[in-house]
Structure 1
Amino acid sequence: MNVLVFRTNINSGQRLHKAACRLCKLRGICRWSVDMEDRDCVLRIEAPEDLSIPLDEQVVIRLLTKVGIECEVLS
Structure 2
Amino acid sequence: MEVLVFKTNLRFKKQISAVTPHINNLQGITRWNVDLDDKDKILRIESADLCPRTVETTLQQAGYYCEELP
TM-score range, shorter chain: over 0.9
Higher strand share goes to which structure? 2
Sequence identity, in percent? 39
- The match for 2:55 is 60
Distance 2:19 2:43 in 1: 10
Normalised to the residue count of structure 1, the TM-score between the two structures is: 0.87
How many residue pairs get aligned? The number is 70
Alpha-carbon RMSD: 0.9
Query: Structure 2: which 5+ runs fail to align?
Result: none
Distance 1:7 1:74 in 2: 7
User: Structure 1 stretches (4+) deviating beyond 2 angstroms?
Assistant: none
- The match for 1:41 is 41
